[in-house]
Amino acid sequence: MIAIGDLHSRLDEVASRPGQARAVVTLARVEGRRLIKHPAVVITVALGIVQTVLFLLSSEATSQHDVGWLLQFSALLISFGALLAANLQASKSRRDGSEELFRSAPLSPAARTVALALAAVWLMAVLTLLLLAGDIAIRAMGKGARSDSGAALFPLFDLVQGPLVAGLFVLIGIAVARWLSRALAGPVAIVGLFAVGNVVLKAAKSAAWFRLTPFDPTFLNDGGALAAVHAVYLAGLGAIVLAVALIRHGWARWVRALLAAGLVAATVSGAFQLAS
Amino acid sequence: MTTMNEGMAMTSGARGVRSKQALLLVRPTIRTIRWAALLGGAAAAQLVLWAAKGELSKGGPIPLLPMRLAAVLLCLGAAFVLDDDAGATVEAAVASLMLRRGLRLALTVPVVGIAWGAALWAASRLAASGRGTGSVAPPSLPVAGLAIEAAALLGVTLAAGAVATRSLGHGKGGVAAGPTLLAFVMAVLSLGRYWPLFPAASSEPGWAAAHARWALILVAATIVLAAFSLDPARRWSILRRRWRPQTHGRLVRASRAPVAGKP
């Protein structure tokens, strides 16, 4: 005799939708571990550590008391490495020709893009720890050297802005990979960002729009409100870049909502920074 | 004497065959080179120079950063020159890896040279456009120094591509060569205060020393490229010949010895 009742209950189990959110988080964990172990990230972390140690051991550390630029330069270097690593990871399936295989998996391409974006959290956590260690090393060396935050225990602005910029660069790498799956696109994007950054650094620091860049020194003297607004601004930019990456897979309602939220956050916080 | 003449005739004959093989390989090689990446790099280099037009035509000492960025972009485009998707198939072919790679480089390096020349010409025109007709002659571009830097960067890129092809497989060297070039440039920038390689102007005292270092880097990169362009089997046979124990003579004598008394 056939157990019809058992067969129907099993059909219900098979037909139920898989837990997308849990799958995305699991994939994000796997991609995050791969991201922080990628050679591009490892090499830039090593470069940042080496140049920091060499400077702190040199006699220049005694004459130059304000060495906060060491942490900022290292964070920017690691951000560039993270951009390249994320770009190569995100474009790998299209370069290898295995994209069709991935499309047969339960997770949609948009969900995989979100998982890659969430993997940036791992890198941001590692960068936060490295910046903390760097600040402790600067203070431990003595010689009067200190980071930009001066008397504060930790360079709070650097600890917030550094990881946020790294996360933004990861999202840029993913967006470039989604639209241009060529291996050349990531390195060219890095050179382009470097050129833009160089133009920004050479511009007049008194210009109002300088507040929108990570290099404005007025954040340091502020009590924290301006730094918080700048963090919201960076998060808004990140939402815009992620939405641009997701648009590649279609104009879903939630993607439009994410783009709108990012534009509102970036515009409002940018206006606050310019007005203050 | 007759044997030596015969040997020399065979060698010149073999060279003639190799030349004919190389000529026959030119058109198929042109078809397999990724010209799109190379031309894209050249176009991006020109774009960077035109974007830096304001800075170049400002007057005073010519800023060298735009030219250096253009050189890096050109080299990123040239990173895929050694990639051959059919590399695994033609490994067993008569034409050696050195010949095949040499042919690829002979076809693409002049193109890179022309693109670099065009970039230098564009930069000098942009720099000259911002200067008035004063009595003081405008400073010229340090062409030789910039050319050595660009050549060394290209050498590093190609050497990285050759090493990556050996490690990752044919057709995948370019994916690693571009990031390796960027890592090299980042390392140079990070450690620049201890080993300066990018002096700001040709009038700086460390200019000659920096370009002597660039020349050393170019030589080292060329050696690595040549070493990794030897066929892997040939490379191992050279090493094996050096340390293989002398058993060949004993084996020949043993094989000639009569077995069970038979001649």
Q: What is the pLDDT of residue A151?
A: 47
- What count of other Cβ atoms lies within 10 Å of the Cβ of residue A128? 17
Top pLDDT among A160 and A183 is at A183
Say if CB A115 and CB A103 are below 8 A apart: no
The alpha-carbon gap from A83 to the nearest alpha carbon of chain B, in Å, equals 11
Tell me the range of A34-38, A157-161, B97-101, B171-175 where mean pLDDT is highest: A34-38
Q: How far apart are CA A132 and CA A123, in angstroms?
A: 14
Say if CB B76 and CB A184 are below 8 A apart: yes
Q: What is the percent of chain B with per-residue pLDDT over 70, rounded to a whole number?
A: 79
Q: Which of A187, A195, A73, A77 is nearest to B69 (CA)?
A: A195
Top pLDDT among B6 and B55 is at B55
The answer to the question of residue B95 being in a domain is yes
The answer to the question of residue B188 being in a domain is yes
A48 interaction partners in chain B (CB closer than 8 Å): 190
Residues of A with CB under 8 A from a CB of B: 39-40, 43-44, 47-48, 50-51, 54-55, 60, 73, 77, 80-81, 84, 88, 95, 182-184, 186-188, 190-191, 194-195, 198, 202
Identity of the residue in A50, A51, A191 whose CB atom sits nearest the CB atom of B72? A191
- Output the six-digit token pair for A112: 């995989």
Say if CB B82 and CB B103 are below 8 A apart: no
Q: How far apart are CA A218 and CA A131, in angstroms?
A: 20
Give which of B49, B153, B175, B194 to mutate to test A binding, by max A Cβ within 10 Å: B175
A198 interaction partners in chain B (CB closer than 8 Å): 65
Q: Which of B213, B212, B222, B150 is nearest to B181 (CA)?
A: B150
The answer to the question of residue B217 being in a domain is yes
CA dist list (Å): A117 to A76, A121, A124, A168: 19, 8, 12, 9
Contacts by A206-209, CB closer than 8 A, 24 or more apart? A208/A274, A209/A274
pLDDT band at A47 (very low <50, low <70, confident <90, very high): very high
The answer to the question of residue B9 being in a domain is no
The alpha-carbon gap from B28 to the nearest alpha carbon of chain A, in Å, equals 24
- Indicate if the alpha-carbon torsion angle A160, A161, A166, A169 is positive or negative: positive
Identity of the residue in B48, B178, B186 whose CB atom sits nearest the CB atom of A195? B48
| Helix, strand or coil, per DSSP, at residue A66 | strand
Among A180-184, B90-94, B97-101, B135-139, name the one with the lowest average pLDDT.
Answer: B135-139
Nearest chain B residue to A181 by CA distance is B175
Q: How far apart are CA B112 and CA B77, in angstroms?
A: 9
Element (H, E) at B119: helix B97-129
Q: What is the pLDDT of residue B30?
A: 92
Q: How far apart are CA B98 and CA B104, in angstroms?
A: 10
Q: What is the pLDDT of residue B139?
A: 64
Could you read off the pLDDT of B198-246 as tens digits, one per residue? 988 888 888 999 999 999 999 999 999 999 998 877 656 655 665 555 5
> Is the pLDDT confidence value at A220 over 50?
yes
Q: Which of B183, B153, B39 is nearest to A84 (CA)?
A: B183
B69–A187 CB contact, under 8 Å? no
Top pLDDT among B2 and A71 is at A71
Number of domains in chain B: 1
Q: How far apart are CA A137 and CA A143, in angstroms?
A: 12
A190 interaction partners in chain B (CB closer than 8 Å): 182
A184 interaction partners in chain B (CB closer than 8 Å): 37, 40-41, 76-77, 79-80, 174, 178
CA dist list (Å): B148 to B102, B144, B212, B216: 21, 6, 9, 10
Q: How far apart are CA A30 and CA A28, in angstroms?
A: 5
B51–A80 CB contact, under 8 Å? no
Among A183-187, A217-221, B26-30, B49-53, name the one with the lowest average pLDDT.
Answer: A217-221
Instruction: Tally C-beta pairs within 8 A across A and B.
Output: 72
The answer to the question of residue B257 being in a domain is no
Prediction ipTM score: 0.82
Position of tokens 């090393």? A137
The alpha-carbon gap from A25 to the nearest alpha carbon of chain B, in Å, equals 28
- Domain interval for residue B92: 17-129+140-243
B79–A54 CB contact, under 8 Å? no
Could you read off the pLDDT of B160-212 as tens digits, one per residue? 999 999 998 888 899 999 999 999 999 998 888 888 899 888 888 889 999 99
Identity of the residue in B37, B51, B190 whose CB atom sits nearest the CB atom of A184? B37
